[in-house]
Structure formats: structure tokens, C-alpha cells
């Protein structure tokens, strides 16, 4: 199901002031940069399966979509689950923390909390990994709750995940914005009646957002804070 008529009106520079009480943040490519961990774990799994191993730069498209979907494209549906299992062998021990928070993300979250927003994480990554990453990089205090998928594949679809998160948190979808870097985030927001802001510092693009029907995106954390209707990031933290 696609919900129409929910996007803010397009503006010349794609920046529109959005009023929102609750904010759902994607993790990979939005709060943290997981490039090294995800691509090395993909390479590990492909090598174990006897497949050609692409360069890191050739695997960046896998950052964001559900992992099973990426392996379906890489090696076919018959071995996709085996690929996921091998990936997690390395990820659970090493790749989980081959990751780093984006510069100024702590300042950004501080400002948004000070402005009264309730913040949540909504990631297609398994919840057990989401919680460890958020805790490792000292992001936990900013968030009311972290939502993720289950290891058995439940709620890897972003639309399903956000529907669950809305029901569990009790927040009003009309007063909520999803912030993410891939089309899955935009489509998930659209299908649940949420507003959406795309971030271009992650692994998506303006073209990807437009194809998904979105028309609001930002390039920096400063623009994100401004788009949400607040003073600039530097003014807020000084």
C-alpha cells in the first residue's frame, strides 16, 4: 500500500521546514558509517563460499538494504541464507565494531533532544547488533528505544519495522519523521504515513530518493537541524 499526499511541498533547494515531535533514525549510513565492517564481512562470506570477492568499493550498494536481499543478488536465493550465516560469523565478533559514528552526530542528537524531540532508532539490522553498536559509540542516552529486526529475518522490511515501532512506542505517525540514507527508509516512511528526510552523507543519493517519491534531503547535520525547524547546529551547541 502506498500512502499519497504526505510529502512536504518541494522547494528550490530541497530544504523544507518540518515540524515533528518524534524522530526515527536509521543506523547504518545515518548515525554511523559501517563501510569497513559490512564490506569486509561480505568479502569473508563470499570467499568462504568460493565466490569471486569484489573490492570494497563494489559492495557499497549493500549498505542499507536487508542483508538477505543483498546476498540474493550476489549469489542467488538458493545460497542467500548461507551467505547471511557466514557474514554473521565475522560480524558478531569483529565487523560489528568496524564502524564509526559520523562527525557531529552527538552534537546533533543533543540539540534535537534539547528541542523536545523523542528519538528512536529504526534499523533493518538485527536488534541485538543495533543495541551493541549504539551502546559502543555512546549513543544510547539519546534514544528512547532501539528497534531492529530479529535474527530469523522478522521485520527486516522497513515498512513492517516502522509499523511495529509506531505501535510499540505509541507515537503519532502524523507527528513523526523518519531520517535515513536509502530508498528503503523513504518507502517505509511513506507506507506508514511518516514524513521523511533523506541524508546525502550516507550511501544513498538524491536520485534514489526522488525515485522513491521523496523530495526532502540534506547534505549535513547542520542542514538536518535547520530543516527540522531549529537554529543552526553551531548556535545550538555554543
Catalytic residues: 26
Of 181, 156, 179, whose CA–CA distance to 64 is shortest? 181
Please give the distance of CA 139 from its chain centroid, rounded to a whole number.
14
Rg over CA atoms, the chain: 17
DSSP sequence for 8-45: PPP-TTS------SEEEE-SBTTTEE-HHHHHHHHHHH
User: Would you report the helix, strand and coil content of the chain in percent, each value rounded to 5?
Assistant: 45, 15, 40
Residue 178 neighbours by CB under 8 Å, 6+ apart:
24, 26, 122, 162, 185, 186, 188, 189, 194, 195, 196, 197
The C-alpha atoms of residue 162 and residue 123 are separated, in whole angstroms, by 9
The C-alpha atoms of residue 211 and residue 188 are separated, in whole angstroms, by 14
Amino acid at each position: 500500500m502506498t500512502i499519497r499526499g504526505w510529502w512536504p511541498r518541494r522547494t528550490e533547494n530541497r530544504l523544507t521546514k518540518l515540524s515533528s515531535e518524534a524522530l526515527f533514525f536509521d543506523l547504518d549510513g545515518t548515525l554511523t558509517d559501517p563501510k569497513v565492517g559490512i564490506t569486509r564481512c561480505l568479502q569473508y562470506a563470499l570467499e568462504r563460499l568460493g565466490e569471486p570477492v569484489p573490492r570494497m568499493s563494489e559492495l557499497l550498494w549493500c549498505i542499507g538494504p536487508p542483508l538477505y536481499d543483498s546476498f540474493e543478488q550476489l549469489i542467488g536465493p538458493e545460497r542467500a541464507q548461507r551467505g547471511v550465516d557466514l557474514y554473521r560469523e565475522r560480524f558478531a565478533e569483529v565487523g560489528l565494531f568496524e564502524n564509526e559514528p559520523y562527525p557531529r552526530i552527538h552534537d546533533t542528537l543533543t540539540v534535537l533532544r534539547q528541542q523536545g524531540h523523542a528519538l528512536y532508532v529504526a534499523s533493518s539490522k538485527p536488534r541485538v547488533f543495533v543495541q551493541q553498536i549504539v551502546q559502543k559509540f555512546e549513543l544510547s542516552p539519546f534514544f528512547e528505544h532501539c528497534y531492529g529486526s530479529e535474527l530469523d529475518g522478522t521485520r527486516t522490511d522497513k515498512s513492517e519495522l516502522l509499523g511495529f515501532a509506531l505501535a510499540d512506542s505509541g507515537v503519532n505517525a502524523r507527528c513523526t519523521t523518519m531520517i535515513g540514507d536509502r530508498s528503503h527508509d523513504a518507502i517505509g516512511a511513506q507506507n506508514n504515513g511518516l514524513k521523511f528526510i533523506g541524508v546525502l552523507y550516507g550511501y544513498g543519493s538524491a536520485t534514489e530518493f526522488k525515485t522513491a517519491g521523496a523530495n526532502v534531503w540534506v547534505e549535513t547535520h547542520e542542514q538536518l537541524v535547520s530543516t527540522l525547524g531549529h537554529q543552526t547546529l553551531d548556535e545550538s551547541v555554543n
